[in-house]
Structure 1
């Protein structure tokens, strides 16, 4: 069979049909795995939201401790933004992987399989017409003519549908490449955006974290000095007693 510049033998078609069955199974599996990842991701987002709410509750409780309250507020806001970025990532996975590939399976792969079923039926009809034409009695011109006419019509129908089938093969192969690559590229762009935005956000609060770390180091030193002074005073009091 020939369509445009592409020639398909029976072996080529068998190979394509086998590939379609396999790619459909692989895509179905990937969609299911993606669905599981999205569900787990949304559960992760929900757990993180609860954690952030806990940080905010603690911040409200520690309002009199300005250093603690400020720290909890800043970190809580940053963590909430990171949660929002994760929500965007899982929404993109829903659209680019799950929905896009599901649509490809539902629309294109199944349309191809339906065309294949029609092609096989018409091919069987043509083979049956060939048998009837070969078996038509030569002594009965009327039956011979009917068999020849039926064979001609079945051949025309077969050639027409064969062209449609080859077209479906070309379209499916081209679209398979586009759909898979486009879905994965969109998802990886979403991953890139997640980490880029996350890095940018954390980079903005990095000076505050360094300042807080220095203050904590000084707090440890001050606490150690205060502890020694208290121990010294305690020892003096015990000696006097």
Structure 2
């Protein structure tokens, strides 16, 4: 069974881990660009507020509201990625405190075993047994601690997957709700363009007839 998260990649500054950080930064830049795009839509709506096409104005409002809601859902994704990548075990975690204490005891036992005089067989044997016992205890706690870390990361991964599902589901619903408005706006714009084109064609035909009459007139 392949692990969802490589523990060694999380505890060292590896190229893959740095790429994950760059992915989060790219997502934040994408959200900033989307926000600028929405600001441009607001300015467009302000400039076309006095237009005769009521549907266009309402479509701008609906599009802006829908895209703003999609952006809010999309912002959750990089936040959860960053939380998943930088999630560490809290200092209040009893397992972490116990793990740190055992590591300190192991260092202390190693120092005592190195400093004890070899001429004192009883003290040397006692220090050696203490070092072996502390080392085994440290290994057991290290294994237990490494097994607990994925259990703390998995909920973050599930939250990220759920946020992705929510984002795409909400985006689909919003775009589906905007579809009738977009069709109505397209029909209105097409009708307006056809009317303008017909009016300009008639105007050009009248001008052409007027020019021909003036040319024929001696």
The two structures have a TM-score, normalised by structure 1, of 0.66
Matched-pair contact (CA < 8 Å) for 1:20–1:109: no
User: How many angstroms apart in 2 are the aligned matches of 1:29 and 1:218?
Assistant: 54
| SS of equivalent to 1:64 | coil
Offset at residue 221 of structure 1 (A): 3.4
Partner of 1:222: 195
Partner of 1:175: 148
1:29 to 1:124, Cα distance in 2 relative to 1, 3 A: farther
Matched-pair contact (CA < 8 Å) for 2:41–2:60: yes
Matched-pair contact (CA < 8 Å) for 2:96–2:145: yes
Which sections of structure 1, spanning at least 5 residues, go unmatched? 1-18, 137-146
Aligned ranges for residues 1-241 of structure 1 at < 5 Å?
23-25=10-12, 30=17, 32-65=18-51, 66-98=54-86, 100=87, 102-103=88-89, 115=102, 118-119=105-106, 122-123=109-110, 125-126=112-113, 132=118, 136=119, 147-241=120-214
The two structures have a TM-score, normalised by structure 2, of 0.72
Q: Any idea what the Cα deviations from partners look like across 1:20-56, whole Å, max 9, x if unmatched?
A: 76651167962x5444444443343333323322322
User: How many angstroms apart in 1 are the aligned matches of 2:97 and 2:15?
Assistant: 13
Offset at residue 150 of structure 1 (A): 0.9
Number of aligned positions between the proteins: 205
1:116 to 1:237, Cα distance in 2 relative to 1, 3 A: same
User: How many angstroms apart in 2 are the aligned matches of 1:28 and 1:165?
Assistant: 30
Partner of 1:140: none
1:174 to 1:56, Cα distance in 2 relative to 1, 3 A: same
Matched-pair contact (CA < 8 Å) for 2:42–2:64: yes
CA RMSD of aligned residues (A): 3.6
Which sections of structure 2, spanning at least 5 residues, go unmatched? 1-5
1:125 to 1:82, Cα distance in 2 relative to 1, 3 A: same
Offset at residue 69 of structure 1 (A): 2.2
- Higher percent of residues as helix: 1
